[in-house]
Amino acid sequence: MSELKKKTENGSVDGAEDATSNEQKAGGDSGVGMGVLFFIAAFAVCFLSGWLLFPSLLYSKKEQPFNFNHALHVEQTSGCESCHYFREDGSFAGVPKNSSCMECHESQLGDTKDEEIFMTEYVEKGIEVPWYIYSKQPDCVFFSHSAHVVGAKMDCVTCHGHIGESESLKPYQENRITGYSRDIWGESIWGIKKNPWDRMKMDDCAQCHQEETGSKGACFQCHK
């Protein structure tokens, strides 16, 4: 090996370094050992952060304007459809407007702080309650409640879970990038679900459609 070639390979023209480098080769390659150590350390940190820290960074927690007791309302009325009703034209009303609430809450009915907030801050001021909606889908998704609930006779619980039995509203976890609720991806960052209502992603729609109709359906059925 010519001197020049040797120098080039070792990346140095310094004789002393040259000697060290030869020594390293001889002494069991501890550089590789360090590399592996760093690899493992970095892997562990990133892996664990990805699973444990990332979800809490991705979502911000927001409190609803005031608490709402679904269980109480279901008990007092005849079920989900008393408030989340279908309009005459078949379209779904979604979260009720103040006017619907006021059919019963013309004046304060109970003595809860939450109802008081509703009456004083919203009804009296004529402002609609800015609820955070856990199941809100992007604008590019077309979904017909009528086709599923009226047509296919599906139960609300299948997609929305047992929210009707809840006595308080959980904090809304807003995805900092998309602005949508954590409930769409699902509580599990793995994306694994135990119940059909644990996730509301496109694949979940497709899975059910595959099972029930034998086809995932076409793009334009939802993306109009």
Under the binding rule (CB under 8 A), the answer on residue 44 touching another protein is: yes
Shortest separation between residue 167's beta carbon and another protein, angstroms: 28
Shortest separation between residue 13's beta carbon and another protein, angstroms: 19
The helix or strand, by DSSP H or E, that contains position 172, with its residue range, turns out to be strand 172-175
Under the binding rule (CB under 8 A), the answer on residue 49 touching another protein is: yes
Measured CA angle at 83 (ends 127, 150), to 5 deg: 130
Contact (Cβ atoms closer than 8 angstroms) between residue 128 and residue 98: yes
Question: Radius of gyration (Cα) for the chain, nearest Å?
Answer: 29
Helices assigned H by DSSP within 86-141: 98-101, 113-117
Binding mask 158-197 for another protein (x = CB under 8 A): -----------------x-xxxx----x---xxx------
Distance of CA 104 to the CA centre of its chain: 33
Binding mask 11-30 for another protein (x = CB under 8 A): -------------------x
| Nearest residue to 172 via CA among 135, 134, 200 | 134
The token pair that represents 197 in the structure block:
């209502």
Phi and psi at 174, nearest 5°, equal -95, 130
* Range list of β-strands (E), the chain: 59-62, 172-175
Contact (Cβ atoms closer than 8 angstroms) between residue 201 and residue 185: yes
The count of chain residues that interact with another protein, using the rule CB under 8 A, is 40
CB within 8 Å of 182: residues ≥ 6 apart? 59, 173, 174, 175
User: Between 88 and 211, whose beta carbon lies closer to another protein?
Assistant: 88
List, in sequence order, every residue forming a beta bridge with 92; answer none if it has no partner: 86
Shortest separation between residue 2's beta carbon and another protein, angstroms: 26
User: Between 29 and 155, whose beta carbon lies closer to another protein?
Assistant: 29
Q: In the set 4, 16, 26, 140, which binds another protein (CB under 8 A)? A: 140
Q: In the set 13, 14, 22, 41, which binds another protein (CB under 8 A)? A: 41
Under the binding rule (CB under 8 A), the answer on residue 31 touching another protein is: yes
Q: In the set 138, 151, 171, 217, which binds another protein (CB under 8 A)? A: 138
Shortest separation between residue 155's beta carbon and another protein, angstroms: 23
User: Between 136 and 208, whose beta carbon lies closer to another protein?
Assistant: 136
Residues that bind another protein (CB under 8 A): 30-32, 34-51, 54, 58, 87, 89, 91, 93-94, 138-140, 175, 177-180, 185, 189-191
